[in-house]
């Protein structure tokens, strides 16, 4: 009896640890259903990644489609390399308050779907971030419940990072994978123990679900750390993202089949997508999974861009009986939630799903998740070494005896220029 109880306890404990590890790799919480169009970006027009230099201005904005002018609060938390809360006090990473009410909000204008648009800029008179590192920014309601969270990285550059993209050397995946190699130059920073003090994250298209971590430098040169890995820093190239553009909500476009106005909202039906895994690679430009809210018929897309039910459909060779299929992209923060989980229609033989989305230009793809929560974002889309992807290398530094992880370098490269 005691052995049975001990086994049961060990099983539950192992399950909880596994769940915690899985949970920590996700973006903390799934967005509330009424929260839409969350954007966290620099004031620079062409920047999508939530990676900012210390002191750089950036904006958090979102819509509440319940449109009832709720009181929302933001909370900024410093995190360590593993996205756990840092062991430092608030006054060590912010001047002012790390939690404050969002006072800038307006209701939509001339839209069928009413919503309240919220926005807050950092730094502001209440909150100024003064330390580099990982940050979790959460928005809470009046009951102090989190309605969504986003990750952001603040960089205080003390190093230079050179990044190159190569074809993998593995014969088995040479046509499907890309390898990231990089060097860190630190002429003005004395690093005593690089293997322990330096940590690395490599991101593909700023998606933390597929991040490569825990890399040690392979070679040490004068004021330089060299990372010439192959297998360890290889990513599936994937495929170019699918897209649609409904900046004019009544019109069809290249990828929109038809649009109609229902009783109180527009419905946008996309052409059925087909499984691309066995098709040859075809290049067409994308924005690497991102989205851009826009409305050519209005003056301020934040307030006069309307929402529409966008109907996605996917044709596959076989039904995925032991896997779930999701619509995947930065527009839903790369999350796996019921809102973006597709349903198989026995009558049509298609995976289908409508999603409420604001007017704009959207990149998306399809991903599968098996019963063990294993992600596969190339099973449906295919994977090709030619695919254009953006890679980002983040350099973390914790000096011996320090209490938190700094971010001291960032490097970027695109695989449109790929080395053999």
DSSP labels, 3-25: HHHHHHHHHHHHHHHHHHHHHHH
Provide the domain count of the chain.
Answer: 3
Q: Are residues 131 and 197 both part of a single domain?
A: no
Q: Residues 402, 404, 408, 410: what is their CA dihedral angle, to the nearest 10 degrees?
A: 150
Cβ within 8 Å of residue 331, ≥6 positions away: 37, 291, 357, 362, 363, 364
Residue pair 330/402 in contact (Cβ under 8 Å)? The answer is no
Alpha-carbon distance of 197 to 191, in angstroms, equals: 7
Assigned domain for 281 exists = yes
pLDDT of residue 420: 60
CATH number, domain at 71? 2.60.40.10
Tell me which of 155, 177, 200 is where a domain ends: 155
CATH number, domain at 404? 2.60.40
Q: Are residues 204 and 287 both part of a single domain?
A: no
Residue pair 92/132 in contact (Cβ under 8 Å)? The answer is no
Asked whether the predicted pLDDT for residue 1 surpasses 50, the reply is no
pLDDT of residue 45: 66
Q: Are residues 222 and 341 both part of a single domain?
A: no
Q: Are residues 247 and 233 both part of a single domain?
A: no
Band of pLDDT at residue 29, cut at 50, 70 and 90: confident
Alpha-carbon distance of 140 to 138, in angstroms, equals: 6
Q: Are residues 248 and 362 both part of a single domain?
A: yes
pLDDT of residue 44: 78
Asked whether the predicted pLDDT for residue 409 surpasses 80, the reply is yes
Assigned domain for 5 exists = no
Q: Which of 225-229, 338-342, 371-375 has the least mean pLDDT?
A: 371-375
Q: Are residues 260 and 222 both part of a single domain?
A: no
Cβ within 8 Å of residue 309, ≥6 positions away: 262, 265, 266, 267, 268, 354, 355, 356
Assigned domain for 205 exists = yes
pLDDT of residue 14: 39
Encode pLDDT of 38-78 as tens digits: 999 998 767 799 999 999 999 999 999 999 999 999 999 99
Assigned domain for 109 exists = yes
Tell me which of 98, 122, 155 is where a domain ends: 155
Asked whether the predicted pLDDT for residue 184 surpasses 60, the reply is yes
Q: Which long-range contacts (CB under 8 A, 24 or more apart) does 215-223 make?
A: 217/184, 220/194, 223/185, 223/186, 223/187
Asked whether the predicted pLDDT for residue 202 surpasses 80, the reply is yes
Beta strands of 123-159 (E only): which ranges?
127-129, 133-140, 146-155
Instruction: Give the per-residue SS3 of 300-346.
Output: CHHHHCCEEEEEEEEECCCCCCCEEEEEECHHHCCCCCHHHECEEEC
Cα separation values, 140 from 70, 101, 102, Å = 10, 9, 10
Cα separation values, 408 from 90, 117, 216, 397, Å = 20, 34, 16, 7
Q: In the structure, how many helices (H) and strands (E) does the chain have? A: 3, 31
Assigned domain for 398 exists = yes
Asked whether the predicted pLDDT for residue 10 surpasses 60, the reply is no
CB atoms within 10 A of CB 30: 18
Tell me which of 120, 155, 190 is where a domain ends: 155
Assigned domain for 184 exists = yes
Assigned domain for 19 exists = no
Q: Are residues 338 and 357 both part of a single domain?
A: yes
Torsion sign (Cα): 367, 369, 373, 374:
negative
What are the beta bridge partners of residue 73? 101, 140
Q: Are residues 328 and 274 both part of a single domain?
A: yes
Asked whether the predicted pLDDT for residue 17 surpasses 50, the reply is no
> What is 71-128 written as a DSSP string?
--EEEEEEE-TTSPBPSS-GGGTEEE-SEEE---EEE-SS-SS--EEEEEEES-SSEE
Assigned domain for 276 exists = yes
Asked whether the predicted pLDDT for residue 147 surpasses 70, the reply is yes
Give percent above pLDDT 90 in the chain.
86
Q: Are residues 147 and 192 both part of a single domain?
A: no
Q: What angle do CA 214, 236, 310 make, to 5 degrees?
A: 110
The domain of 129 spans 30-155
Q: Are residues 42 and 123 both part of a single domain?
A: yes
Tell me the Cα Rg of the chain.
23
Q: Are residues 115 and 232 both part of a single domain?
A: no
The helix (H) or strand (E) run that includes residue 130 is: none
Alpha-carbon distance of 19 to 23, in angstroms, equals: 6
Q: Are residues 166 and 282 both part of a single domain?
A: no
């Amino acid at each position: 009896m005691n052995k049975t109880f001990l086994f049961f306890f060990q099983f539950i404990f192992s399950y909880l640890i596994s769940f915690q590890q899985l949970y920590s790799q996700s973006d903390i919480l799934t967005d509330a259903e009424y929260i839409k169009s969350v954007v966290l970006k620099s004031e620079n027009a062409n920047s999508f990644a939530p990676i900012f230099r210390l002191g750089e201005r950036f904006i958090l904005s979102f819509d509440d489609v319940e449109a009832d002018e709720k009181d929302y609060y933001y909370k900024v938390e410093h995190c360590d390399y593993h996205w756990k809360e840092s062991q430092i006090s608030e006054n060590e990473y912010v001047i002012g308050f790390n939690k404050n009410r969002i006072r800038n909000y307006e209701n939509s204008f001339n839209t069928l779907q009413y919503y309240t648009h919220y926005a807050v800029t950092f730094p502001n008179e209440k909150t100024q971030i003064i330390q580099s590192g990982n940050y979790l920014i959460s928005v809470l309601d009046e009951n102090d419940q989190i309605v969504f969270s986003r990750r952001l990285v603040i960089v205080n550059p003390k190093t230079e990072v050179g990044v190159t993209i190569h074809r993998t050397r593995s014969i088995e995946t040479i046509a499907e994978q890309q390898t990231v190699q990089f060097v860190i130059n630190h002429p003005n920073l004395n690093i005593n123990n690089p293997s322990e003090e330096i940590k690395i994250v490599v991101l593909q298209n700023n998606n933390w679900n597929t991040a490569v971590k825990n890399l040690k430098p392979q070679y040490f040169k004068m004021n330089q750390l060299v990372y010439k890995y192959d297998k360890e820093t290889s990513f599936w190239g994937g495929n170019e993202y699918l897209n649609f553009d409904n900046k004019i909500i009544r019109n069809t476009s290249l990828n929109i089949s038809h649009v109609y106005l229902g009783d109180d909202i527009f419905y946008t039906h996309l052409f059925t997508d087909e499984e691309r895994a066995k098709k040859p690679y075809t290049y067409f430009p994308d924005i690497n999974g991102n989205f851009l809210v826009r409305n050519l018929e209005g003056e301020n897309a934040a307030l006069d861009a309307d929402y529409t039910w966008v109907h996605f459909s996917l044709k596959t060779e076989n039904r995925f009986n032991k896997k779930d299929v999701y619509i995947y992209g930065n527009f839903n923060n790369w999350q796996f939630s019921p809102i973006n989980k597709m349903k198989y229609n026995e009558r049509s033989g298609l995976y289908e799903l409508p999603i409420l989305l604001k007017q704009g230009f959207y990149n998306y793809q399809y991903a599968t998740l098996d019963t063990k929560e294993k992600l596969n974002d190339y099973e449906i889309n295919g994977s090709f070494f030619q695919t254009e992807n953006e890679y980002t290398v983040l350099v973390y530094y914790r000096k011996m005896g320090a209490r938190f992880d700094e971010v001291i370098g960032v490097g970027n490269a695109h695989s449109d220029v790929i080395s053999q």
